[in-house]
Amino acid sequence: MAAEAKTAPLPPILLPRFWRLVGKTVALKWKYRANPEKTYGAYLDEYYNTANTQNDVAYYGDAWHEVRSLVVSEAGLDRGDTVLDVATGRGYQAAAFAQRGYPTVGMDLVHSRARESRSQQDDEALQWASGSATDLPFKDNAFDAVTISLALHAMPPRERLAALRELRRVAAKRVVILEPRAWDWWPAKPFYAAMGHVMDESLFFFRFAMNDLDRRFSGIGLRLLRLRRCYVGDILAIYVCEPM
C-alpha cells in the first residue's frame, strides 16, 4: 500500500513556517522576474532542490490531502483503467489513484521529484518517470485517463497550452485537472489573483487566475463534462473533460 501522506498539524496559513516560505518564495521569484518564460525550468529546479524552500515544502507533506480522493471519484473511471499523472511532484495524486486500484504512472519534469516519489509512495500499481508535460513520451490514447494537479498554473502560458494538447493526445477517455480557480464574482477575481501571485510559487499566477482555464478546452479538442470547486474557500477546481 502507498504510504499515508503526512500532513502538517494545523492549516499551513496558521503556521509561522508558512509565512517564512512565502517570504523565501517571493525572494526567489524576484530573482527570476526578468525573463520568467525562459528561466522557469531553472527556477523550478532551484525552488524544489536548492533554494532552501524544499524543507518547508516537504514539511507540509500533502497540504491538499483532502482533495485527492475527490479527484479520483470525480474522474469516474472504470475498474482497471490506466492513469498517467503528469507533473506528479511527490506523487500524492498518483498514489491516490493507485490506492483505488488503477494502474498509474507518475511523471515529473524535475528528476529528483520523480525519484522522491518513488521512495515515498510504495504501491505495486505505481510506476514513475521523468519528462515534460509538453512532450509526453507516450503514444496517442496510451492511457484511459490523464491527470494533472496544481501544475498548469505554474507553467508559462505557451507551455501550458502545449501541455494541455499533450494531455488530450495521450488520453483515451478522460483528462482530469485540479488547479486554482478564481472566484466568479468579478471584484473578487483580481483579489484572488493578486493574493495567489504573492503566495504561490508560480511566476505566472496572476494571468492564470484572471483567465478561466476552461476557455481553452474546446480549441484543443476537450469537452468539459464537470467543473467542481473544492478545498477551503473553494479556491481550487476539478475539471473533468473528455477528448472530442
Positions that interact with ligand SAM (CB under 6 A): 44, 87-89, 92-93, 108-110, 113, 132-134, 149-151, 154-155, 159
Burial class (CB in 10 A: 0-12, 13-18, 19+), 77: buried
Q: What are the residues whose beta carbons fall under 8 Å from the beta carbon of 65, sequence distance 6 or more? A: 5, 7, 92
Shortest reach from residue 162's CB to ligand SAM, in Å? 8
Nearer to ligand SAM, 232 or 244 (CB): 232
CA 80 to chain CA centroid, nearest Å: 23
Cell numbers 486500484 correspond to what residue? 101
Shortest-Cβ-distance residue relative to ligand SAM: 89
Residue (of 216, 215, 229) closest to 183 by Cα position: 229
Alpha carbon separation from 32 to 23, 186, 202, 238 (Å, rounded): 15, 30, 11, 30
Shortest reach from residue 189's CB to ligand SAM, in Å? 22
Shortest reach from residue 101's CB to ligand SAM, in Å? 20
Nearer to ligand SAM, 6 or 223 (CB): 6
Nearer to ligand SAM, 77 or 109 (CB): 109
Shortest reach from residue 186's CB to ligand SAM, in Å? 27
Nearer to ligand SAM, 78 or 128 (CB): 128
Nearer to ligand SAM, 33 or 115 (CB): 115
Shortest reach from residue 14's CB to ligand SAM, in Å? 20
Nearer to ligand SAM, 125 or 188 (CB): 125
Are 120 and 90 in contact by the 8 Å Cβ rule? The answer is: yes
Shortest reach from residue 185's CB to ligand SAM, in Å? 26
Burial class (CB in 10 A: 0-12, 13-18, 19+), 47: buried
Tell me which H or E stretch contains 158: helix 157-170
Nearer to ligand SAM, 127 or 134 (CB): 134
Alpha carbon separation from 89 to 3, 94, 190 (Å, rounded): 15, 9, 28
Shortest reach from residue 187's CB to ligand SAM, in Å? 28
